[in-house]
Amino acid sequence: MLPTSVLDRFAEKCPAGVMIRATLENLLRPERLDQIFNDVRTRQYNRTLLFSQMVAVMAGVATRTHQSVHTAYLAATEELGVSSTALYGKLNRVEPPVTGALVRETAADAAGVIEALPRAQRVILKGMQVKILDGNHLAATEHRATEHRVSELRITREGPLPGQTLAGQTLAVLDAQTGLVSDLIPCEDGHAQERSLLPELLTHITKNTVIVADRNFCTSQFLFGLKDCGAAFIIRQHASTLHWQQVGKQRRLGRVASGILYEQELLLTYGEQTLTVRRITIKRDKPTESGETEIHILTNLPRSRANARKVAEIYRGRWTIEKAFQTLTDVLRCEVETLGYPQAALFSFAVAVVAYNTFAVVKAAMRSALGVKAVDEELSDYHLMHDVVITQTGMDIAVEPEAWERFQTMTPRQFATEILKLAGRVKLSRYPKKPRGPKKPQARKKSGQRNHHISTARVLAASRNP
């Protein structure tokens, strides 16, 4: 049987698995990855172990095809041709600029595919790119791993933080139109303030971009920096990081879902510079979880671009980046606890982001083929990726590597046409989403201090025969 015939069988039975693998082949072309590395690196080099091979190993971990870096290494020992010590040594020295470039460049390639798909992009503000900004701290690494691998940490019981990553464009930047994490600004210092990375982020901001962010990023330097870039912002106001004064009276604009909407102009000052912004206020019917009754959102967008209701609606969509982080954590594997060195941990996170962007391309194709509402409301990311993972091993054994090579040479438009055909075969009924209902109040529990153990059978019998 020819390799393409075997691949066709997988495309019929599990098209989602073939879509994920084909997208990885298209976005993670070895020559493309090695070129990114050579363009950015300053100290490392490509000789025996190539950068593209390191990405391939970590992609297996990020997609949960392999349970650890070591098992991924064992599966690829013949292709790598180096010891596990050499692999870990190179992972521990991946330069942060290379990590950021990996996400940025592959996201640009992924965006080209999504742009070629009909009805795959969301329209948020016509003529403008809406980017959602947030920060993400990597979890503390396993203490046992760091005791063995990082000698400087063997004398403390404190949980070591391998680093901090900001993805925005990501510090993380999420493109609201395509659903891609379009940029990553990595920082090795786990205690670094997210705001300290904003100047570097500004170098990646382009004209006609709208940055949506929480109040932690609401600083004079950042807001005026966005203005100087020709960009706009929709950012929740921080209570103490701006110099401002009111201009005119606050105007009531009616009700929204969560309360009453108001608008007022403010004059911001930063040194000798001034900037007039609109402050959109929502006086909530119910306090937030932190007890706040008012939410203030600042924007320099003109009303002709976005009225107050539109601004509030766009800011409300900021939660989508939190959903992206949840997918990276729960569905993919963005944090490998055994990687104690910051550069290795950040690189692992970046590869997981690339895997997430691969997933975003697949979902965009499914929206185009099956409908936006059906995919967004009915598709379970978890069940889809679980199906892909259990199919992956079989495909690796049954399908010859040559069968995937044609996807590597396709242009974005050609690949979009191919993946659209596969998306039409996906049966959403295999991956049903089950939204959680309202939480039930928890019953008061006994302390258990007197009776340490109970019989489950006796408790159930007592409830049946009170």
Is 456 inside any structural domain? no
Residues 113 and 18 in one domain: no
What is the DSSP-derived secondary structure letter of residue 104?
A: H
Judgement on whether residues 109 and 213 belong to the same structural domain of the protein: yes
243-256 and 181-183 strand pairing? unpaired
List the one residue out of 389, 393, 365 whose CA is nearest residue 379.
365
Q: State whether 104 and 128 are in the same domain.
A: yes
pLDDT, position 393:
81
417 within domain boundaries:
yes
Q: Which of 299, 330, 361 is the last residue of a domain?
A: 330
Q: Are residues 230 and 252 in the same domain?
A: yes
Residue 192: which domain range? Answer: 100-330
With respect to residue 335, please indicate whether it lies within any of the assigned structural domains. no
Q: Does residue 405 share a domain with residue 374?
A: yes
**Residue with token string 């203490």:** 143
**Residue 441 belongs to a domain:** no
Question: What pLDDT sits at residue 321?
Answer: 83
Question: Amino acid identity, residue 411?
Answer: T
Residues 270 and 187 in one domain: yes
157 and 34 housed in the same domain:
no
Res 277: pLDDT: 95
> Pairing between strand 232-236 and 209-213?
parallel
How many domains is the chain partitioned into structurally?
2
**Selection from 319, 294, 130 nearest residue 212 by Cα:** 130
**Beta partners for 277?**
266
Residues in the chain predicted with pLDDT less than 70, given as ranges, are 1-4, 137-170, 190-191, 337-338, 340, 447, 466
Boundary (domain end) residue, out of 330, 352, 379? 330
Residues 133 and 268 occupy one common structural domain: yes
User: Are 19 and 130 contained in the same domain?
Assistant: no
Mean pLDDT of the chain: 86
Q: Are 268 and 404 members of one domain?
A: no
Let me know if 35 is exposed, middle or buried by CB neighbors in 10 A (0-12, 13-18, 19+). Answer: middle
107 shares a domain with 47: no
CATH number of residue 115's parent domain: 3.90.350.10
Tell me whether residue 466 is in a domain: no
- Find, among 171, 216, 173, the residue nearest to 198 by Cα: 171
C-alpha–C-alpha distance, residues 421 and 36, integer Å: 30
Query: What are the tens digits of pLDDT across the range 276-286?
Result: 999 999 999 98
pTM for the structure as a whole: 0.84
Asked if 23 and 169 sit in the same domain, the reply is: no
Residue at a domain's end among 282, 306, 330: 330
pLDDT tens-place string over residues 133-169 = 988 766 555 544 444 444 544 545 555 554 444 433 3
Closest CA to 133 of 62, 197, 224, 221: 197
